[in-house]
Amino acid sequence: LEQPLFTCGRCELRDPTNLKMLAIFAVTFVVALIGAVVYFYSDGSRKRKTSIPGLDPTDAKNGNLAEMGAEGTVHEFLMKLHKTYGSIASFWYGKTFTVSIASPELFKEHMGVFDRPCELFEIFLPLYGKSSVEFTNKAEGKKRRIMYDPAFAHTSLGNYYGTFNELARELVQKLSAIPKDEHVSLMHHCHIVVIKALTRTSFGNYFDSEEIVNTFRQAYNDCWYDMERSLTEGLHVKGSDREKKFNEALEVMYGIVRNVMKERKTNPTAGHQRFIDVLLENELPEDQILSDCISYMVGGFHTSGNLLLWILYFLASNQDCQEKLHQEIKEVLGDGEVDKSNVKDMKYLRQVINEGLRVSVLAPYTARFQDNDSKLGGHVIPGGTPVWHALGVALKDEDLWPEPEKFDPERFSVANFTPRHKMAFQVFGFAGKRVCPGKFFAYAKMAVFVALLCRDLKFNLVEGQNIEQFYGMVTSPKSEIWFHLEKRG
Ligand code: HEM
């Protein structure tokens, strides 16, 4: 047996290059076929552990991974599971009995739970490193969040609006120079602008250099796509060319973070404490600093970059919403910039961002566990059982959101939103004071980018495209989205 790398307080996490479960998870259709055969011939002899309705394992080792593979993605599997069994349902994630919840009432019952089962994000282990906050539970996990959260809290955001506006103006200028009839893919632009926003505000002047940003983005992309590839092909094999490429890219990212650390130590700037300064001033071990810098960057890049792209896509496909938004922005900003006092006057902008978060289902699920037996929805949950929060299933629940696929920012007007259950809209997680630490930061930068882009440009879709969502680690479009842009005014 491989030696455990570390434990999250519930289970031991082993070197994922040797993890059979990851490899199995990666096999989609072949395993689905085997799974279906096993399903039809199995006697379902594994005993149900609780009164929670759900799937029996179709295979002793692989549980219901075959069914997951057959649905294509975890989110689609959870959609089907909850449609069949209701808002609390169970399945087998490999050998692990797992519960999933998907209603505001059940979310509310689970609000106090902090610890996250480490296997949920183990695919990221080679990228984050084992010291990452993502894998840190119990008192140490809570201590870290208390230490780190202020750098991204409301109170710090005022320091970041200047950078966000500058980056938004730069992007508007770049896009305005593109001829009206040219077909433009915006994914690259959206990713670059959010990478710059997070690195410049949270890691300092080292990222002012365009060259460093591009080098970092290339290395980050290589690592990210290797991780995404793991979902369908299994993790890179030791000694393979794929592993070599991943390690080289990882070294570039870690090298840049080490340089940032050196630069901040030798040239500390006065004033606001950035995320990197918090890590350095608390004299944390180097492996923790490196792991957490990478975790926050990875946590913030694809989520925010894809969100910006999805919002522009939804606005381009709903021109009446785009016009309403443009009018509001002109009225509130005129030719000025977004700051923390005028941002709250752009109410429709906030509605557009919320509806963009809901329809895109950016981060479809997370999970928690408790050491001891507990109760949920009237059922007993045995101690140690992972409870998945099917955030995406609740966002697409037609009882909560009629016509759930329709992009309709009016759902978030005060009149329409107030009667809803408070827990119906949970895109950043909700449990145990471990919601996404980048929540307010993400809203602020999205507000600035969408406001300046939609004030100065009109976004149109190239006709004849069929855009579908791929609910991977972060939800992305299955193919490039092509726009053409018109300069306003
Ligand atoms: C645009 C939108 C974003 C969405 C939808 C999103 C969503 C999420 C979700 C659902 C979680 C899991 C929370 C839980 O387990 O309850 C999470 C965790 C996390 N997010 Fe975000 N996120 C976004 C932006 C960001 C940004 C900008 C950053 C960086 C500043 C970030 C950094 C992280 C980190 C580090 C964690 C793990 C925290 C921990 O383990 O305690 N995210 N995010």
Domain layout of the chain by residue ranges: 1-135+362-395
* Dist. CA 163 → ligand 1 center (Å): 21
Q: Is the pLDDT of residue 20 over 60?
A: no
- Ligand 1 centre to CA of 70 (Å) is 28
CB-ligand 1 contact for 475 (6 Å cutoff): no
| Nearest atom (ligand 1) to Cα of 391 | 10
Q: How high is the pLDDT of residue 434? A: 95
Minimum mean pLDDT range among 227-231, 252-256, 273-277, 404-408: 227-231
Looking at residue 10, what is its pLDDT?
Answer: 77
Q: Find out whether the beta carbon of 429 lies less than 6 Å from any atom of ligand 1.
A: yes
Query: Confidence class of residue 48 from pLDDT cuts 50, 70 and 90?
Result: low
* Higher-confidence position of 175 and 204: 175
Residue among 122, 149, 303 to mutate when testing ligand 1 (max atoms within 8 A of CB):
303
Residue 24: pLDDT over 70: no
Q: pLDDT tens digits for 104-117?
A: 999 999 999 999 99
Query: Would you call 486 exposed, middle or buried from its count of C-beta atoms within 10 A (0-12, 13-18, 19+)?
Result: exposed
308 lines ligand 1 (CB under 6 A): no
118, 13 contact by CB (below 8 A): yes
**Which residue has the CA at smallest separation from atom 7 of ligand 1?**
428
C-alpha 426 – ligand 1 centre gap (Å) = 12
> What's the whole-number mean pLDDT along residues 158-185?
96
Percent of the chain residues past pLDDT 90, beyond the cut? 80
Instruction: Calculate mean pLDDT across residues 361-377.
Output: 97
303 Cβ inside 6 Å of ligand 1:
yes
Which residue among 133, 157, 436 is best mutated to probe the pocket of ligand 1, counting the most ligand atoms within 8 A of its Cβ? 436
**C-alpha of residue 366 to centroid of ligand 1, in Å:** 10
- Tell me the pLDDT tens digit for each residue of 443-456: 999 999 999 999 99
Pick the residue whose CA is nearest to atom 22 on ligand 1: 436
Dist. CA 443–CA 60, nearest whole Å: 44
pLDDT at residue 270 tops 80? no
Section 311-330 average pLDDT: 98
What's the pLDDT at 233?
79
Task: For ligand 1, say whether the CB of 353 is within 6 Å of any of its atoms.
Answer: no
pLDDT computed for residue 34 by the predictor: 35
Nearest ligand 1 atom to alpha carbon 145: 41
Confidence bin at 276 (pLDDT 50/70/90): very high
343 with 332: CB under 8 angstroms? no
**58 pLDDT exceeds 70?**
yes
Q: CB under 8 Å to 325, separation ≥6 — which residues?
A: 315, 348, 349, 352, 450, 454
| 356 Cβ below 6 A of ligand 1 | no
pLDDT given for residue 13 in this prediction? 63
pLDDT at 23: 42
Of 83, 58, 127, residue with least CA distance to 404: 83
* Model pLDDT, residue 397: 97
Residue 477: per-residue pLDDT: 97
> From the CB of 432, is ligand 1 less than 6 Å away?
no
pLDDT of residue 418: 87
Range 329-352 average pLDDT: 97
Mean pLDDT for 433-439 is: 96
428 C-beta closer than 6 A to ligand 1:
yes
At residue 3, the pLDDT reads 55
pLDDT at 289 over 90: yes
Mean pLDDT of the chain: 90
Question: SS in 3 state form for the chain?
Answer: CCCEEEECCCCEEECHHHCHHHHHHHCCHHHHHHHHHHHHHCCCCCCCCCCCCECCCCECCCECHHHHHHHCCHHHHHHHHHHHHCCEEEEEECCEEEEEECCHHHHHHCCCCCCCCHHHHHHHHHHHCCCCHHHCCHHHHHHHHHHHHHHHCHHHHCCCHHHHHHHHHHHHHHHHCCCCCCCEECHHHHHHHHHHHHHHHHHCHHHHCHHHHHHHHHHHHHHHHHHHHHHHHCCCCCCCHHHHHHHHHHHHHHHHHHHHHHHHHHCCCCCCCCHHHHHHHCCCCHHHHHHHHHHHHHHHHHHHHHHHHHHHHHHHHCHHHHHHHHHHHHHHHCCCCCCCCCHHHCHHHHHHHHHHHHHHCCCCCEEECCCCCEEECCEEECCCCCEEECHHHHHCCCCCCCCCCCCCHHHHCHHHHCCCCCCCCCCCCCCCCCCCCCHHHHHHHHHHHHHHHHHHEEEEECCCCCCCEEECCCEEECCCCEEEEEECC
Query: Using a 6 Å cutoff on CB, does residue 442 contact ligand 1?
Result: yes
- Mean pLDDT computed over 47-68: 90
Separation of alpha carbons 70 and 76, rounded Å: 10
Whole-number Å distance, alpha carbon 303 to ligand 1 midpoint, is 8
Write the pLDDT tens digit of every residue in 123-133. 889 999 999 99
Q: In the prediction, which pLDDT does 375 show?
A: 97
> What average pLDDT does range 376-397 have in this prediction?
97
**CA 317 to centroid of ligand 1, rounded, Å:** 28
- Does ligand 1 come within 6 angstroms of the Cβ of 275? no
Is the CATH number 3.30.43.20 carried by domain 1-135+362-395?
yes
